[in-house]
Structure 1
Amino acid sequence: MTDMPDREQNAFIKRLPIIIIALVAILGAYFLRDYLTFDALRDNRETLLAFRDNNYVLTVALFILAYIVIVAFSLPGATVATLTGGFLFATFPGALYNVTGATIGATAIFLAARWGFGEKLGAKLEGSDGIVKKIKDGIDENQWSMLFLIRLVPAVPFFMANLVPSFLDVPLRRFVISTFLGIIPGAVVYTSVGAGLGEVFERGETPNLGIIFEPAILFPILGLCLLAALPILLKAVRGKKGL
């Protein structure tokens, strides 16, 4: 009888990080929606540039930390943060700072979700039957390809790409590597847009955030998606030949 309260307490402690993340995400979506915006970046651009010029290393550290917090707590403004990285630091090293912050933040929410729910849910999926088990086995057999695909495909929400692997048997090292490399194409595109914001501000316009869906950008990314999916396709073809 005394084991039950202890077990429930341990379960609550394990889920506490992801509960905190969820609460902060809800509060952040309400209270920060007017601050982490393109308009806020435009209105404070001179202050940000002056601070960067006087405190470059500190600006880099604070920027990466802010990006980590935005991603880890699923706060609004990830796209604006990426643009800011380009605006403050140019396409390079801005893209490197963006990718670093996003990867660390993604890893934080991955670990929180895995610690709270992942192992238990993964065990349930492993012990299930039918189509659910087949889907999990398919992901397990092609982890590298699937991890890169969910990062490369623009239609997959970033927070979903962080959570889904935490519920499966994905090693931390594999998650970190696939996240860092997989988000580089999109990060470079949006960072380059941010690098050109000075001219956009002068014209009183807004940046074209749909640029990633333009053929010149989208087709190379789709080519990378096809390359990532190639091992899965080859396995499928070999499987049919074996039949």
Structure 2
Amino acid sequence: MLPWLPPHIVAFPPVTHALDDPDGLLAAGGALTPEWLLNAYRHGIFPWYAEGQPILWWSPDPRMVLFPEEIRIRRSLSKRLRNGGFRVTFDVAFERVIAACAETRADTDGTWIDDAMRRAYEDLHRLGHAHSVEVWHQETLVGGLYGLSIGRIFFGESMFSRAADASKIALVHLAHELHQRDFALIDCQMHTPHLASMGARDIARETFINYLEKNVNAPNPADLWPTEPT
């Protein structure tokens, strides 16, 4: 039986209790308040559910992560970074980024970022926990990503592109900033070929939890989210 979490208690089962099929499903219920979400991420758990489903909480094994120093920049992307005419900012348009990530895509039946999810992460942004990276071409927002920064871990949530390689450009700039500030890793949650092509790799959930235990309580650099990259 999948554990059902009441909305007034912020407590999760151990991640070792997560199902093998579907991989990482841990519990249902709970709430999308900042208290619930921050507690979840600190323990290697994240929410992910489809329209019409209850809140579902996951901790897959293995876990896809990107170590900032291992970001892979292919020749074509390097050329676009130099000559594409893009400008990158941080935390300038969080609500626009999450709205773009929530748009239904041609290759999917819907979006997992519903109104409740959007409001929850907007609340976390106002509290200083959730952040965005924006990619602009002239004055048009063409790509970006958002996630949570807790200690020396960045928990990536979603990204979007409206121009070729725009989300990759956002990730490259994020990895550079995090590497400069000695972050341990970027949590990518689940394996995708797109992230693997940029250097992300799978590690055992137990190893991932060890990284969290060592890094989520570290000081978060005050200058991490400049409006322009260094």
What TM-score do the two structures reach when normalised by structure 2?
0.28
If each structure's helix is expressed as a fraction of its own residues, which one has the higher value?
Answer: 1
What TM-score do the two structures reach when normalised by structure 1?
0.27
